[in-house]
Structure formats: structure tokens, C-alpha cells
Structure 1
Amino acid sequence: MSQFATGITVITAGGERGHGMTANAFSSVSLDPPMVLCCVSRAARMHDAILSAKAFAVSILGAEQQEMARYFADWRRPRGLAQFDAVDWFPGPHTGSPLLSGSLAWVECNLAEVYEGGDHSIFLGNVVSSKRGTGPHALTFFGGDYHQVGPDVRATA
């Protein structure tokens, strides 16, 4: 799967079990109604955080947020909402889930369905809010490393 280039997000949930997690298993599902999905290991703290909050948010990271991606992938960071003390964030207006400042876009979701997917759960969310940031370049993951992509990078025929 390292040959499949993906965008990088940080999925968050607020509430008592507030948590954040770097993820690239995120996708748009439907435009009408607007829905997205994310996949989370059932062994991850994020799994229980989403179930507890019954909502989640997604911050789509920009190219300059590589350290943010590494931070939320590091299991040594503080637990709970204390992990957000080290980053600039704001609460989502609809779910209260932390949204990371400087991201390319933000999506807030109410949890609609949970499906089993091997050792992961597939969380389907109804989008209740979305907003676009101003950054021009996205953070991607390919071949085991981070890369940047933007409107000035085009595929060749």
C-alpha cells in the first residue's frame, strides 16, 4: 500500500475521551447528503473516543504541517485533551472536536454508522460543517515518506 499516495489528516474527537490521531484512511463518500468515512483500528484510543463522542472532525493537513502529522502519530504524546496543549487549535462549532489551525480544510461530522472492517472500524460520518483554509499545498504520504503537492504540480501524460 506504500505505492498508493494519500492525503494526510488528523482525526479528532472531543468530550471526555478527547483524542487526535494522524490518519490517511479518510475519504469522501457522498455529496448529497455530504458524508465521509475514516478507518480506525479497534485497538487505537481514537476508536473509543469517536464512539464516546458520537462525532469526529477531520483537519486536512497542509504541506507545512508535517511536524503536526508526526506529533499526532507519536504514541508518547500526552493522553486526552492535554495532547492539544502543544498545538494551535479551536473547537469545532458543531461537535466541539478540536480543529487544527492552519489546515487546508476542516470537516465536522456526526457519527452515522460503524462498520466492521477486519481489525479496523469504518466510521461513516454525516458532515455537519466544513470550511476551507488558505494554504496552497497539501501534505501527502507516498513510499513511506511525506511529500508536498500543490496546484503547480501536474501529472504528465
Structure 2
Amino acid sequence: MAAGVAVASTRWRGLDHAITVTSYTWVSREPPMLLVCVHEDARFLDAVEGAGTWGLSLLPAGARATAGWLATPGRPAVGQLDRVPHRTGAVTGAPLLDGALESFECRTTAVHPAGDHAVVVGLVVGIGRSTASTGSAGAEEPLVRFRRSYHALA
């Protein structure tokens, strides 16, 4: 299935943690809630459970390199976002990617085991758009994953 590409992120024990995700969606409008699915063995799952807060940055079509990097198994735990422009979320302190189409800050309300993944549900406590995503050509096109590769809508 074709799916939008996002980066889930958190800050825990003084380190930024981030992971590329394609399994995310709205759970509720009122109150506003999102979910993201994370593999049960991912370091990110431990970090998001420990921190209790997380961010979700929806990637534009030009962010293929970022999506690929943050989906790379075995990448170093330290400095994951050193090569990715980002800012600190005002509400949760979670890292949010510059240039994202939209960014959300969430407070975890539940984590449900689901096969080899966990479904992390969060109450949306902040929504924003990066100023870097406005005004540049093509910045409003989302990055999509289909048949094991990244695509732009066209």
C-alpha cells in the first residue's frame, strides 16, 4: 500500500531518538489523538515509552535522504539527528524536523502490543508548520513510500 512518510521523534536521557514511519494516523478529532506503529525491537520504542512524549514530522517529497537515513537499521544511537535540521518542540521538547509539511507534539496515552509492533497512541498537545517548508518549490508535495521505494505525488 502507498503510505505517507513521517519521522517519529523523542528526546530521552539527553539523546534525540528518531525513526522513519509509514504507519501513523489520526485516532480521534476530539480530543485530537494520533497513533504510530513501531517495531517491538526498535530502540525508539524504549525511548518513547521512557520519555512519555514524542513528535511526528510529515516529510515533504524532497526529504528522501532523511527518510532513508532514519530508516537505516543499526545507525548510531548518538547523533541520529546531527545531519538533519530540526528544532525543539515548544510543548514537549521532542525534536521536530525543519521543512516538515506539518509537525505534531504528542503526550503518550497508551502503548498497545500488536504482533511484532507496538501501537503508540498520543494526545496531540502541539501542532505546527516549519517556516522552512513554506515558499520553496515543491515543498508542499508529500513523500510517499510504495513498493519499497520513495515517491512524490504527481
Alignment TM-score, normalising by the size of structure 1 = 0.88
Q: What whole-Å deviation, never above 9, does each CA across 1:60-98 have from its counterpart, x for those lacking one?
A: 000000001001011343213x11111111011111111
For 1:103-122, what aligned pairs fall within 5 Å after superposition? 103-122=100-119
- The farther-off stretch of 30-39 and 134-143 is 134-143
Pick one of 134, 138, 141 that aligns with 1:137.
141
1:83 partner SS: coil
Report the number of matched residues: 146
For 1:61-100, what aligned pairs fall within 5 Å after superposition? 61-80=59-78, 82-100=79-97
Q: Does structure 1 retain, via aligned residues, the 8 Å contact 2:16–2:81?
A: no
- The farther-off stretch of 125-134 and 40-49 is 125-134
4+ runs of 1 displaced by more than 4 Å?
none
Aligned twin of 1:52: 50
Q: Does structure 2 retain, via aligned residues, the 8 Å contact 1:59–1:105?
A: yes
Alignment TM-score, normalising by the size of structure 2 = 0.90
Question: Is 1:15 paired with 2:19?
Answer: no
> How far is the alpha carbon of 1:126 from its aligned partner?
0.1
Q: Aligned partners of 1:102 and 1:60: how far apart in 2?
A: 9
> How far is the alpha carbon of 1:32 from its aligned partner?
0.7
RMSD of equivalent CA atoms: 1.2
1:65 partner SS: helix
